[in-house]
Amino acid sequence: MAIGDIFTLPVERIASSGAGVLHFEGGTIFMEQSAPGDVVSGRIILERQSWSEAELLDIIEPSPLRAAPVCPLFSTCGGCSLQHLSYPAQIDEKTAILKDAFLRIGGFPLSVEPEVHVSEPFEYRNRIQLHSMAYSMPQPPSPRKRRGPYRTLPSVARRGQAQRRLGFKARKSSELIPVSDCPVADMRIRRAFLNGEILPPAFQDRFTVYGRGELLLVEGSPTARTPARGRMSILGREILLDASVFFQSNAAMLEVLLADLLQTAAWADSCSAAADLYCGVGTFALFLSDRFLSIDLAEENRNALSLARENLKRDHASYYALRDDQWPRFLQGKHYGFMVMDPPRQGLSPTLRSWLCREGPPLIAYISCDPASLARDSRELLAGYRLHSLSWYDFYPQTPRIESMAVFEKK
């Protein structure tokens, strides 16, 4: 097909990007907002050698997997891409994406069936990233009026001064969409939108908000009412957070993952040492430190590592500010009974993968936020390990993102 061609085809499945997958004469077509089982009419808008991208023109036959999007900004906001699917359909499609990654990228079919842990479909997200936009308001603002389920945020500047409006990035665009609510956000954040508690930093166009229970943290906040730092409870333990430092965005699912991690760690020798690589603010290590003789924490981000020190305060914990490609040199001669790794989307460095196969601990828990890099790393780790189990946790409903935990045992 060529750009501009119009077609009618059935949608087969959902790709890892969240787009529907269609096929025509050996070529693959990706189409956003289409559902498996749809028969759609579309137009080609991008053409490559082996694949094309199409825009949805019409749904000829709707799929039974479809659902009405909850958010009126669904088609324009870049945050969610699966609200047009029922939640059970999202779970099935994401499980298929995970399996496909192991087969297509890892090069081997899974020998274990992934265990699935579902989330609340909405009001689950504790951490969001907002952008602020400047706009002029030379005249006194008129009384706020509701427009559908949304309302304008309260003004924070004096008349005639530049105002700042909150927004998300638009889908496939650098433009910002003004928002005053988000149905996937935690109720604390939704309430903060409504009450006008989220005030953008004076000199930041992008900032992070964290909310759970009564806690509301705003990065670079100009008011003491919404600090940047605060403490929250996870499985009965207090953890110090900073809105500027990464922390998991779905606290309820984090507790499920933590429970599984501790159950896995119980198989290891408690008289041995443990390691938490890519430790962040020390969440995993805080719980694992009770089970092992000593624990080493490694993290490139020094601000995160500083928070980890404050969170653990353990005499038998050691902290290392290292990039992951530096860790193998540090790890030489060290022997661990258990290791947890939670790398960013790019996965493990080649040097770390090689060290693990040669000298790694007998038991590893690999926390992944990207099935593609997990499948690639698993293929390499099979030189020294076998895959014992695989679980995935729906940290991000309404999106195609997948968080998983692969447990590896030394051969």
**Residue 204 confidence class, pLDDT cut points 50, 70, 90:** confident
Q: What is the pLDDT of residue 163?
A: 67
- Give the CATH number of domain 6-66; options: 2.60.120.10, 3.30.830.10, 2.40.50.140, 3.30.700.30: 2.40.50.140
Reported residue count of the chain is 411
Is the predicted pLDDT of residue 400 greater than 50, yes or no? yes
Is the predicted pLDDT of residue 155 greater than 50, yes or no? no
Q: What are phi and psi of 126, to 5 degrees?
A: -90, -20
**Residue 202 confidence class, pLDDT cut points 50, 70, 90:** confident
Residue (of 225, 208, 168, 213) closest to 187 by Cα position: 213
Average pLDDT of span 165-193: 93
Average pLDDT of span 279-287: 97
Is the predicted pLDDT of residue 365 greater than 80, yes or no? yes
Q: How far apart are CA 96 and CA 15, in angstroms?
A: 9
Q: Where are the alpha helices (DSSP H) in 227-326?
A: 251-265, 283-288, 302-312
The per-residue pLDDT for range 11-38, each reduced to its tens digit, is 999 999 999 999 999 899 999 999 999 9
Q: What is the pLDDT of residue 153?
A: 39
Specify the 3-state DSSP secondary structure of 233.
strand
What is the sign of the dihedral through the CA atoms of 65, 256, 234 and 302? negative
Q: How far apart are CA 358 and CA 131, in angstroms?
A: 45
In the predicted model, what is the mean pLDDT of the chain? 91
Domain ranges of the chain: 6-66, 95-122+250-410, 127-242
Average pLDDT of span 363-392: 98
Q: What is the pLDDT of residue 147?
A: 43
The per-residue pLDDT for range 67-119, each reduced to its tens digit, is 999 999 998 998 999 999 999 999 999 999 999 999 999 999 998 999 999 99
Q: Does 95-122+250-410 match 6-66 at the fold level? A: no
**Residue 64 confidence class, pLDDT cut points 50, 70, 90:** very high
**Contacts with 155 (C-beta within 8 Å, 6 or more apart), sequence order:** 137, 141, 163
Q: What is the pLDDT of residue 141?
A: 47
CB contact at 8 A, 273 and 295: yes
Which residue in this structure is represented by tokens 């433009």? 175
How many Cβ atoms from other residues are within 10 Å of residue 318's Cβ? Answer: 13
The per-residue pLDDT for range 304-350, each reduced to its tens digit, is 999 999 999 988 999 999 988 888 888 778 899 999 999 999 999 99
CB contact at 8 A, 42 and 57: yes
Q: What is the pLDDT of residue 173?
A: 85
CB contact at 8 A, 188 and 216: yes
Q: What is the pLDDT of residue 284?
A: 98
The per-residue pLDDT for range 110-150, each reduced to its tens digit, is 989 999 999 999 999 999 999 987 765 444 444 444 444 43
Q: Which helix (H) or strand (E) holds 379?
A: helix 371-381
Specify the 3-state DSSP secondary structure of 114.
coil
Q: What is the pLDDT of residue 164?
A: 74
Share of the chain above pLDDT 70, in %: 93
CB contact at 8 A, 314 and 294: no
Average pLDDT of span 245-259: 97
Share of the chain above pLDDT 90, in %: 82
- For residue 389, the cross-strand partners are 407
Where does residue 81 rank: exposed (0-12), middle (13-18), buried (19+ CB within 10 A)?
buried
CB contact at 8 A, 238 and 229: no
Q: Where are the alpha helices (DSSP H) in 75-233?
A: 87-101, 187-195
C-alpha distance across the termini of the chain, in Å = 49
Q: Is the pTM of this model over 0.95?
A: no
Average pLDDT of span 208-237: 94
CB contact at 8 A, 348 and 321: no
- Give the CATH number of domain 95-122+250-410; options: 3.40.50.150, 3.30.70.141, 3.30.530.20, 1.10.472.50: 3.40.50.150
